[in-house]
Structure 1
Amino acid sequence: MRALLVVNPTATTTRPRTRQVLVSALSGQLDLEIVETTHRGHAIELGTRASRESYDVVVALGGDGTVNEVVNGMLADGPRPDLPALGVVPGGSANVFIRALGAPRDPVDATGLLLEALREGRRRSIGLGRANDRWFIFCAGYGLDAAVVSRVERARGNGRTATPGLYVRSAVAQYLGGPERRSTSVELKVESDDREPEPSGRFGAVIVQNCSPWTYLGARPVNPCPEASFETGLDLLALRALRLPSTLRTVWQILSPAPDPHGRQVLRRHDLSGFVLRSDRPLAAQVDGDYLGELTEMRFTAVPEALRVVV
């Protein structure tokens, strides 16, 4: 079985010696080509090459950002039946995608499960989302949460480690000091949906999920849209205002053992096939925890069975 292993050498939770053990285990079962990424976007280039050169499997060893880039490369020419399958060995801080699939977050255990799935020919087809021209696997955001991602990326650029504490501190700082709390500029328009669209109004922040959970704080799943699934369309949670009492109540609802965010300031939609978010001023945007910059429009589409995963 011909396979390409895309390794992020700066992955936060795997040391070089551990990565060597994992590579050796994979090499024993696969005709393996190994490439380490050297720059942002490199994994996109590698995923594109793998999809055009008839590899059977592409394995991403890294965090969710590496997986997102690999997937965007694999789907550069769109979904098709003969695309390679995707395997993942987690090496990041959160590893949301692999955990959402029910696989272990420990890289050694995950490699063992991956090798077992390869031997048994196990594959799972999952739906993905598109935000403008960017594919995403598990989440996207517009407004507050994307601005938090930007803060975290700047902190990591200054040598900080992406820990749950860093995300919490960045979220509090952005909420208190950013412009999102004082402005509700996002408009929602549902497209390609058989149901009657709700009056959208304006929103201060929007979270989009392709699966559940949205992310993790350590071992705790964070679930704004608990019904989201790889087998359905996209789910959405939008906050009409970011006033302190209502925001704290929504955060509490999201973090509860049985999450059910609701209230006058909350709009939730399930299983959407398409929608557009627009703002009269550029707002922060992110997909799968990767900051995209500030945009005035995000056009979302759900794509069923876009990718086969080895799991």
Structure 2
Amino acid sequence: MPAMIILNPYANRWKAGRFTAQVKSLLTELGYDFELAQTRVPGEAIGLAAAAAKAGYDPIVAAGGDGTISEVVNGLLRVEAAARPRLGLLPLGSANDYAFQLGIPLTLEGACRTLAAAAHERTLDAGLINDHYFMNDIAIAFGARVNIEAATIKRLRGSLIYLGGVFKALMRYHLPTVTFEWDGGRLENKPILLAYVGNGWRTGGVFFLSPHARLDDGRFDLLVGDALNRWQILKLLPKTFSGNHIHDPAAHMYSCTWLRIHSDDPLPVLADGEIIYRDCHDLEIRLLPAALRVISGPAEGQRPPVKPG
């Protein structure tokens, strides 16, 4: 069976659709056997991916941003592991965090060549939050609010959107009190700025909130950030660009395979760059080891220069 490419034309603020003809041309020139379907509404890639997997297409290729990949992953993980095809990536989004981590070129031609050659493949973990699958990360509280605010910004592009979202979120976000329980620890009624569950190590194109995480180690990296005032947040923020926030006394790092979260305050929640809840109170998160086979580059992307502790 050929590959099935699921292209989201609305990725990267409606820019991805401009590359449809180029994707077809490049892959045809490479002699790649494929069919292509375009999504029309949010969430449609889930059903398309599940149907293509059950029909025997291999690989299933997500062409779009991290949100598109996440939808395709949600479709693939609804298929039994024995029948689950490989995942391929054509990064057409604004941050392209997952592709970057896997060493896939962020140029379209380079990504097409990597896909067509399929010379490297990795078996990677995924996660489940309540009834939603994810492959890279979960952001809770302030981190999710940043994304909500970023979505309202019209004039910025790329990673600048997320930086703009930070400053908008600073002006209006209420800091919640949260209880955490995981295999190995518990924090009760803790006021927080944010919580972050990293399967991967890069988010938003510029943030390295879990800089030592690995996509295939069978563990999540959990970051819990203390409740801070605006000035303290602005002092801490630049450290997240290099991962050196992990040495700040306001940042607490843990390792886990499952996590339960409760708050009487409404929590916004982000999964793989997309808002899945705006006012959630209870979350259950667990690791799915070795859940995905992904066509990758020869080596992972460059990690940030984190200083020794």
Q: Structure 2-normalised TM-score?
A: 0.87
Deviations 1:257-307 (A, max 9, x none): x6252344322113x100112110221111011011221112111111101
* C-alpha deviation, 1:36, in angstroms: 0.7
Aligned to 1:127: 125
- Matches of 2:57 and 2:294 in 1, distance apart? 14
What is the correspondence of 1:56-71 to structure 2 with a 5 Å cutoff? 56-71=58-73
* C-alpha deviation, 1:54, in angstroms: 1.7
- Matches of 1:83 and 1:160 in 2, distance apart? 40
Aligned to 1:265: 250
1:297 aligns with 2:282: yes
Distance change >3 Å, CA 81–CA 301, structure 1 → 2: same
Identity %: 27
CA contact (8 A) 1:276 1:299 kept: yes
1:288 aligns with 2:272: yes
Note the residue ranges of structure 2 that are not aligned, 5 or more in a row. 297-309
- Matches of 1:103 and 1:198 in 2, distance apart? 37
SS of the equivalent of 2:244 reads coil
Deviations 1:85-105 (A, max 9, x none): 011111111111100111111
Aligned to 1:150: 148
SS of the equivalent of 1:269 reads strand
Aligned equivalent of 1:53, options 49, 52, 55: 55
- Matches of 2:290 and 2:56 in 1, distance apart? 19
169-178 or 198-207, larger mean C-alpha shift: 198-207
Aligned to 2:84: 83
Aligned residues: 290
* C-alpha deviation, 1:188, in angstroms: 0.8
95-104 or 4-13, larger mean C-alpha shift: 4-13
Cα RMSD (Å) = 2.0
What is the correspondence of 1:163-242 to structure 2 with a 5 Å cutoff? 163-180=158-175, 184-190=176-182, 193=183, 195=184, 197-202=185-190, 203-217=192-206, 222-232=207-217, 233-242=219-228
- Matches of 1:45 and 1:250 in 2, distance apart? 40
Aligned to 2:104: 103
- Matches of 1:11 and 1:108 in 2, distance apart? 18
* C-alpha deviation, 1:201, in angstroms: 4.4
SS of the equivalent of 1:204 reads strand
* C-alpha deviation, 1:6, in angstroms: 0.5
* C-alpha deviation, 1:14, in angstroms: 4.1
* C-alpha deviation, 1:171, in angstroms: 1.0
Q: Structure 1-normalised TM-score?
A: 0.86
CA contact (8 A) 2:32 2:116 kept: no
* C-alpha deviation, 1:110, in angstroms: 0.9
Matched to 1:59, the amino acid is V
